C-alpha cells in the first residue's frame, strides 16, 4: 500500500507568523493536521509540513504532493541545502526508512487537496495575528 500526502506551508511575512498543514490519504481514510509557528519563513513551513507528516506514517511507500519547488528540488538533491539545515537533518533522519516520491502541483490551480492544505496553513498563520 502507498500513502498519498498533500502538504503546504504559509508565512504571512517572510519571516513572520507561519502555518503548515498536511493531509494523509490512505485507502478510505484521511488525516488532516495543521499548526502554527510564531516566527518562521515560508520554506521552513513547507519542510515542517513534510517532517510532521512523516511522524504519522507507518506505510513505507509515500507520495508527497506539494506546490513547493524549493522542497522538491532540495529533497531530491537538485539544489544545495544552504538554509534550514536543522530541518533538513530532521527530514533526512525521519525519511531514511521510507520510499518517498514527490510530485509538484501548481499552487492555486484548482486541485482540491492542494487548495485545502493551503487554506489550513494560512488559517494557522493568521491565527497568530489574533
Per domain, the residue ranges of the chain are 2-127
2-127: CATH number: 3.30.420.10
| Peptide bond preceding 3 in cis form (omega within 30 of 0) | no
pLDDT of residue 117: 97
Successive 10-residue mean pLDDT values, the chain, 130 residues: 92 94 94 96 97 93 96 94 95 95 91 96 92
Q: Give strand pairing partners of 29.
A: 26
Catalytic residue among 9, 18, 19, 52: 9
Catalytic residue among 19, 27, 46, 107: 46
Catalytic residue among 18, 30, 108, 110: 108
39 in active site: no
Catalytic residue among 8, 18, 19, 52: 8
Catalytic residue among 18, 19, 52, 67: 67
Closest by CA position to 49, among listed 19, 81, 15, 88? 19
pLDDT of residue 126: 95
67 in active site: yes
pLDDT of residue 72: 96
Distance CA 52, CA 69 (A): 19
86 in active site: no
In the chain, count of helices (H) and strands (E)? 4, 5
pTM of the model: 0.95
pLDDT of residue 77: 92
Amino acid at each position: 500500500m502507498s500513502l498519498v500526502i498533500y502538504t503546504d506551508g504559509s508565512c504571512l511575512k517572510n519571516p513572520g507568523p507561519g502555518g503548515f498543514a498536511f493531509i494523509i490519504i490512505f485507502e478510505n481514510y484521511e488525516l488532516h493536521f495543521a499548526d502554527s509557528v510564531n516566527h518562521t519563513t515560508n520554506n521552513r513551513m513547507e519542510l515542517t509540513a513534510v517532517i510532521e507528516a512523516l511522524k504519522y506514517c507507518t506505510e513505507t511507500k509515500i507520495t508527497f504532493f506539494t506546490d513547493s519547488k524549493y522542497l522538491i528540488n532540495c529533497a531530491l538533491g537538485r539544489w544545495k541545502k544552504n538554509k534550514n539545515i536543522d530541518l533538513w537533518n530532521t527530514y533526512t533522519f525521519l525519511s531514511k526508512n521510507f520510499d518517498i516520491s514527490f510530485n509538484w502541483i501548481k499552487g492555486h490551480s484548482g486541485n482540491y487537496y492542494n487548495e485545502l492544505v493551503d487554506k489550513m496553513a494560512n488559517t494557522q498563520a493568521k491565527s497568530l495575528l489574533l
